[in-house]
């Protein structure tokens, strides 16, 4: 990733508008900032959340709270707990997220 034309700045995530995104079950709440081509998000999944799609977008994702289950389209599964992260390239491995307990994430894509 190359970051260009981005002056130093800070973000108070508590002041960023929260948007709702319904999953197959549960809800995702996003707080999103866009910096040119780079999207940065704080995402909260409610307990019982299951994504409604297979995602092919590349991300760097940090699990800040809770547990996140990530399933790859090929059947592999991964469990992230607070302090763990994953990274995946665009169009590399389709993935979808779920959580039984809820999770808070920081995502750059």
pLDDT in tens, 51-106: 999 999 999 999 999 999 999 999 999 999 999 999 999 999 999 999 999 999 99
The yes or no reply on domain 19-108 and CATH 1.10.3720.10 is: no
- 3-state secondary structure labels for all residues of 49-94: EECCCCECCCEEEEEEEEEEEEEECCCCEEEEECCCEEEECCCCCC
**Residue 68 and residue 12: Cα distance in Å, rounded?**
24
Q: Where are the domains of the chain?
A: 19-108
DSSP assignment, residue 43?
Answer: E
Position 2 scores a pLDDT of 78
């Amino acid at each position: 990733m190359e970051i260009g034309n981005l002056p130093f700045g800070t973000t108070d995530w508590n002041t960023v508008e929260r948007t709702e995104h319904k999953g197959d079950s549960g809800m995702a709440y996003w707080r999103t900032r866009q910096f040119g081509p780079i999207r940065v998000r704080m995402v909260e999944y409610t307990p019982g959340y299951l994504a409604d799609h297979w995602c092919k977008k590349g991300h760097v994702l940090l699990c800040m709270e809770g547990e996140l289950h990530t399933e790859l389209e090929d059947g592999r599964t991964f469990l992230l707990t607070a302090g763990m992260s994953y990274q995946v390239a665009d169009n590399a491995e389709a993935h979808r997220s779920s959580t039984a307990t809820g999770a808070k994430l920081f995502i750059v894509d």
